[in-house]
Structure 1
Amino acid sequence: MPRPNKSVATPRPPAVKLRHAPQQVRIIGGAWKRTPLPVTVIDGLRPTPDRVRETLFNWLGQTLDGLRCLDLFAGTGALGFEAASRGAARVVLVERHPRAAKQLHAIKDKLGAVTVEIAEADAIRFATNLPPSSFDVVFLDPPFDSALLGDALKLAMPLVAPGGVLYVEAAVPIDRVVGMTKKATETTKGASGAMNEATQEAADELPPGWSVDRQGKAGLVHYHLLRREIDE
């Protein structure tokens, strides 16, 4: 009697790594609530976490009707488009990276965001040429843990109108942010070779006329709302 043929296992194809959909964040409130905002994959681009953004706009108020806002390191545009969604009269998004700026234009067109202006420029140079007291709200969220924060803070403060606020997001608490200066140094890290680093010096106090209105921490992110006093 012939023996039945042994079944031969069919070899499995090699596993294929699936590409996940692009990361995205969502507008939390206002006219465009729940609208997704794509996150372009760029080194140093780290969107403000949803929980932090929700806290920030609770601090600012649910509506920003009539306010002028500047998002100096726009990235995904999450802060600026959130402000526009909540009624801001003017929102300026500044972004130097071509791919990120292109994505901002696409989002603006999709939303029909007529109050949003997009400047494809270096944030430091752009801020240098702005007139003082131009904005009621300034968002300052440079690439995470970058050496740009000290210079950007000094330039951003005069742009805030009396009674306005400055949002600062950083890898360190505000007392280490205020008064930062950059000093180019050359250091050597063992076998890793030479690296350029920035030495940061911090002052203990905010400039006269400024106060810390609110602050918090989520994971590695320190976030602060600074307020400029109304001139008497």
Structure 2
Amino acid sequence: MAKNTSAQSRSGAAKTAGRPGQVRIIGGQWRSRKLPIQDLEGLRPTTDRVRETLFNWLMGELTGARVLDCFGGSGALALEALSRYAAYARIFELQNGAAQQLKTNLASLKCTQAEVFQGDTLQWLARGTDQGFDIIFIDPPFRKGLAQQCLDALVTNGWLNPGALVYLETESELGAPAVPPHWQELKHKQAGQVSYRLYRCGEPL
């Protein structure tokens, strides 16, 4: 996702493997497919190394899951989940150019079980949803305070199914976010400037 001052695109120093302007799917039905991404300032797809770790964590959880990618950017996380047989993915992306590229890439994959919603993530989350999600990806732009706001909005507005898994990727210096007491941190790793965690949402105490 590209850098933006309001609410959305991923920014930071991490770079994806491979040459600029592409993202590579690393597993599943579309394994090794390379897809174009917008050449936008601050675009920071989750690296291949981190994605491989994340999807090892999610092994056995993806088939048939409803996935929400809160900060779509290149679409690397949502596309990886769909490649591994998630049932549906909803992707929020602030920048129009990146959103249109996501739609084009989904069409090239002949993927019909995903939707891209262009606009501010926090505004979309404030609207709530009629049907919750099983796996949520939160990889916001760094140093804008969006991670905590996104977590709070997900809880407040009913986006999380019981037992949902929430992946959070933030700058390392940020420290652990404030999550509800009934959430369990399953995994936590750090790769350079990036800290990433996986939570399981339990029932309220």
The TM-score range, normalised by the shorter chain, is 0.7 to 0.9
Change (3 A) 1:32 1:166: same
Equivalents in 2 of 1:178, 1:133: separation in Å? 25
Q: Report the equivalent of 1:57.
A: 55
Equivalents in 1 of 2:97, 2:112: separation in Å? 21
Q: Report the equivalent of 2:201.
A: 228
Secondary structure of the residue aligned to 1:130 is coil
Equivalents in 1 of 2:62, 2:181: separation in Å? 26
Secondary structure of the residue aligned to 1:117 is strand
Equivalents in 1 of 2:133, 2:68: separation in Å? 7
CA deviations 1:78-136 (Å, max 9, x no partner) are 00011111111110011110110111011011001111111112100001112377000
The answer to which of 38-47 and 164-173 deviates more is 38-47
The answer to which of 103-112 and 156-165 deviates more is 156-165
1:62 to partner: Cα distance? 5.6
CA deviations 1:153-175 (Å, max 9, x no partner) are 2112442211111000000367x
Greater Rg over alpha carbons, structure: 1
Is the 1:132–1:160 contact (alpha carbons within 8 Å) kept by the matching residues of 2? no
Pairs within 5 Å for 1:191-230: 206-230=179-203
Change (3 A) 1:37 1:146: farther
Q: Report the equivalent of 2:112.
A: 114
Q: How many residues align?
A: 185
1:22 to partner: Cα distance? 4.1
- 1:89 corresponds to 2:87: yes
Is the 2:172–2:190 contact (alpha carbons within 8 Å) kept by the matching residues of 1? no
Equivalents in 2 of 1:41, 1:147: separation in Å? 24
CA RMSD after TM alignment: 2.0
Amino acid in the other structure paired with 1:208: P
Amino acid in the other structure paired with 1:130: G
- 1:35 corresponds to 2:49: no
1:25 to partner: Cα distance? 2.0
Q: Report the equivalent of 2:168.
A: 168
CA deviations 1:159-214 (Å, max 9, x no partner) are 2211111000000367x3423xxxxxxxxxxxxxxxxxxxxxxxxxx312101110
- In the alignment, structure 2 segments of 5+ residues that lack a partner are 1-18
TM-score, L = length of structure 1: 0.74
Equivalents in 1 of 2:184, 2:118: separation in Å? 31
> Greater RCO between the two (CA within 8 Å, min separation 6)?
2
